[in-house]
Structure 1
Amino acid sequence: METLIFEFQINATPEKVWSVLWDDTTYRQWTSAFTDGSFYQGTLEEKSMVKFLDPKNNGMYSRILKNIPNKEITFLHLGEIYDGVEVPQEWGDATESYFLQETEDGTLLRSEIKTSEEFKGFFEEHFPKALQNVKNLAENQL
């Protein structure tokens, strides 16, 4: 596993950035950097399961390990979904975390992804674009 780290300074409050990250409408907008039409199903409560899907019902499913609203959330990725069917994977500690730290200029958004070599290139290419979308949405939405 390799840990990838992405950071963006955003001129908005942590509450605003959190809202952009996890509200349905804005989630669909910023995750379009990965796949058009992306969405998630489930709640963001600790220990709950969440499915990250595309319009064809493909994606992955994860468990929420930690959720401190407006500060931190960590997902443990457990498997893939094909045509709505969950397929467990042996990804070990494949996690995706978001940390929001209030700064003088707004919020430092830090994302840490523990990934295998198989997905490293995808994340390196698409994650900066996705977080730039979060920044744009948080700074430009009313």
Structure 2
Amino acid sequence: MPAQHFDILIQAPREQVWTTMLQSPTYEQWTSVFCEGSRFEGSWDAGQTIRFFGPDGNGMVSEIAEHRPAEFVSIRHLGFIANGQDDTTSDAVRAWAPCFENYSFSDESGGTRLRVALDAFGGYEDMMARLWPPALDKLKRLCEDTN
């Protein structure tokens, strides 16, 4: 599975970037680049289940593999959610699951360097390459506008 990498320098402290990225309502604002109406249910705590939904109620079921606040978050994607049901065992899901999406936060030039590394799968590579840069730009604006 190919890996994709994205990064951005945000002129805000690490904790602010981390909070803006992962908490409502700003999570929903920057992820709207991927899908207007995106939301999550669950906990960002390590070992906890978290579900990511689009406005139609479909999405992904995942687990937080690791979380060190304001340093690192690793999401282990386990399957899809369709029609209110988790699918973690179908052949289509087993072809890619688990895959990871990792966020690293580090101090740089008076701000925060946010690095995103993700496993690309199932033909989503081009979409992720197209959407992550504007999503990170939106996150940057949200973080810097609150300074």
TM-score by length of 2: 0.92
- TM-superposed CA distance for 1:39, in Å, is 0.5
> Residue 85 of structure 1 corresponds to which residue in structure 2?
85
> Residue 69 of structure 1 corresponds to which residue in structure 2?
69
Moved over 4 A (4+): none
1:20 maps to amino acid: T
Q: Distance in 2 between matches of 1:76 and 1:97?
A: 9
Count of residues in Structure 1 that have an aligned counterpart in Structure 2:
142
Q: Aligned to 2:32, what secondary structure does the other structure show?
A: helix
2:38 maps to amino acid: S
List gaps (5 residues or longer) in structure 1.
none
Question: Are the aligned partners of 1:93 and 1:114 in contact in 2 as well (CA < 8 Å)?
Answer: no
Question: Are the aligned partners of 1:10 and 1:105 in contact in 2 as well (CA < 8 Å)?
Answer: no
Question: Larger deviation: 14-23 or 92-101?
Answer: 92-101
CA-to-aligned-CA distance 1:62-98 (integer Å, 9 cap, x gap):
1111000011000011111112211121114410000
Q: Distance in 2 between matches of 1:85 and 1:117?
A: 20
> Residue 50 of structure 1 corresponds to which residue in structure 2?
50
List gaps (5 residues or longer) in structure 2.
none
2:50 maps to amino acid: V
1:78 maps to amino acid: L
1:130 maps to amino acid: A
> Residue 133 of structure 1 corresponds to which residue in structure 2?
138
Tell me the percent identity: 30
> Residue 104 of structure 2 corresponds to which residue in structure 1?
99
Q: Distance in 2 between matches of 1:110 and 1:46?
A: 19
2:53 maps to amino acid: L
Question: Are the aligned partners of 1:61 and 1:79 in contact in 2 as well (CA < 8 Å)?
Answer: yes
Q: Distance in 2 between matches of 1:58 and 1:116?
A: 18
Q: Aligned to 1:132, what secondary structure does the other structure show?
A: helix
- TM-superposed CA distance for 1:49, in Å, is 0.7
2:127 maps to amino acid: F
- TM-superposed CA distance for 1:29, in Å, is 0.1
Alignment RMSD: 1.1
Q: Aligned to 2:25, what secondary structure does the other structure show?
A: helix
